Amino acid sequence: MFWGLGRLLTLLFCCVVLANQLVPFVHPLHLLVNLAGGLLLLIHVLEVLLCNRSLKGRPHPWRDRGRILLFGVFHLQTISAPAAPEASSHA
């Protein structure tokens, strides 16, 4: 439930940033919304770059990258960790 709420709030914030681009808010607020949106995008791009190697084995890595760009850590937490290879015992 927490991850779903985080996704919803992130999507809502993205809508606010897009609305600010179409119809700018009052003077100091539109600059702050643009700055916060730009910082969030930068963080999400860094998350994609840092997690790129772990996404290569996924069935749809480009869809996962897009979702990370949109939802960030809220999508990363829903991705299951790859299974560790079993260690063979030598007797």
Q: Which two tokens stand for residue 63?
A: 């869809």
* Amino acid at the residue 31: L
Mean pLDDT of the chain: 82
Instruction: Give the least confident one: 42-51, 71-80, 82-91.
Output: 82-91
Q: DSSP of 23-88, one letter per residue?
A: S--SHHHHHHHHHHHHHHHHHHHHHHHHHHHHHTTSSSHHHHHHHHHHHTHHHHTTSPPPPPPPPP
Q: Which two tokens stand for residue 37?
A: 């949106």
Mean pLDDT of 77-89: 57
Q: Give the domain ranges of the chain.
A: 2-76
Mean pLDDT of 40-61: 85
pTM across the whole model: 0.72
pLDDT band (50, 70, 90) for residue 83: very low
**The pLDDT of residue 4:** 82
